[in-house]
Amino acid sequence: MLIAGNWKMFKGAHEARQFATTIRHLPERMAGVDVVVCPPWTSLEATIAGLGKSAVRVYAQNVHWELEGPFTGEASAPMLLELGVTGALVGHSERRQYFGETDETVRLRAESALEAGLAVIACVGETADERQAGEMQQVLERQVSVLPRHERLVIAYEPVWAIGTGLTATPDLAQEAHSFVRSLHDAPVLYGGSVKPENAAGLLAQPDVDGALVGGASLDALDFEAICQAAAQAA
Ligand code: PEP
């Protein structure tokens, strides 16, 4: 089981460092659970410092495909590795919705990050309109088909209508989508979309749910710990 916390644009360096010291012992108490946090760029170093020798891993929320160059606002895999960052999210729906991320740029980001030695969590998922139009499978097929096959690649199924909305897919809906993603790719599949301590156990108990990508609830140490505990029970 993998539980990854996406802090989005929350927790500046000072707060991130303090929070990291609070959660650094989590993996010792959670057998069978890998714990990842994804701070904003400016808090990566502080989080790593706060975690010390902890087994909690730090991923970036994005990564560029070139090693360096005139790409304002971006950071490359070698730059992240130099800090001690060991992975990156790619293709989060907020990147796709607000920053023009496409399946092609997601592919480029994932491929070069993996090649450079990072782990990758690639996010896929349909919008409410796409689901209503009966296009869920078509969308997932399009988004998953560009992802490389690699032992360090993990897919996060995040229905866009469930992200930050409090609307969670039921465990059955999640299972149905996960088993479809599994039919397309052999990577582990995390569920994301309003995962909270109250619904985590039901989602993580599904046979094709290999963990969770947690946004809002990962910002609170007790909530995040409760979700990790649910994962340990399901592991
Ligand atoms: C996310 O940011 O990937 C996410 C799933 O957010 P939330 O848990 O807040 O819905």
Q: Dig out the tokens for 55 from the structure.
A: 């087994």
How many structural domains does the chain have? 1
Structure-block tokens of residue 126 = 């349909």
**For ligand 1, atom 2, which residue shows the shortest CA distance?**
215
pLDDT band at 169; cut points 50, 70, 90: confident
- Which among 3, 6, 62, 190 is the best mutation to test ligand 1's pocket, defined by most ligand atoms within 8 Å of the CB? 6
Residue whose Cα lies nearest atom 4 of ligand 1: it is 215
Strands 87-90 and 119-124: parallel
- Write out the two tokens for 152: 């360090």
What integer is the mean pLDDT of 140-168? 94
Query: Which residues are identified as catalytic?
Result: 92, 158
Secondary structure (3-state) at 216: helix
In the reported structure, the alpha carbon of residue 193 is separated from the centroid of ligand 1 by a whole-number distance in angstroms of 5
pLDDT band at residue 120 under the 50/70/90 scheme: very high
Nearest CA to ligand 1 atom 6: 215
Residues in the chain: 235
108 alpha carbon – ligand 1 mean position (Å): 23
**Cβ(235)–Cβ(1) below 8 Å:** yes
Q: State what percent of residues in the chain have pLDDT above 70.
A: 100
Confidence tier at 156 by pLDDT (50, 70, 90): very high
CATH number of the domain residue 202 falls in: 3.20.20.70
* 168 close to 199: Cβ distance less than 8 angstroms: yes
For the CA of 94, the closest atom of ligand 1 is: 2
| Mean pLDDT calculated for residue range 59-68 | 98
Ligand 1 centroid from CA 164, angstroms: 5
Give the integer Cα–Cα distance in Å for 106 and 162: 21
Please report the pLDDT score of residue 78 as a whole number: 98
Q: How far is the CA of 218 from the centre of ligand 1 (A)?
A: 9
Residue 165: per-residue pLDDT: 85
Q: Average pLDDT over the chain, rounded to whole?
A: 97
pTM of the model: 0.97
Whether residue 164 has pLDDT greater than 90? no
pLDDT at 223: 98
Which residues in 53-204 belong to E strands, given as ranges?
57-60, 87-90, 119-124, 153-157, 189-192
Question: 109: domain range?
Answer: 2-234
Of 231, 219, 227, nearest in space to 188 by CA = 231
Pocket (CB within 6 angstroms of ligand 1): 6, 8, 158, 163-164, 192-195, 213-217
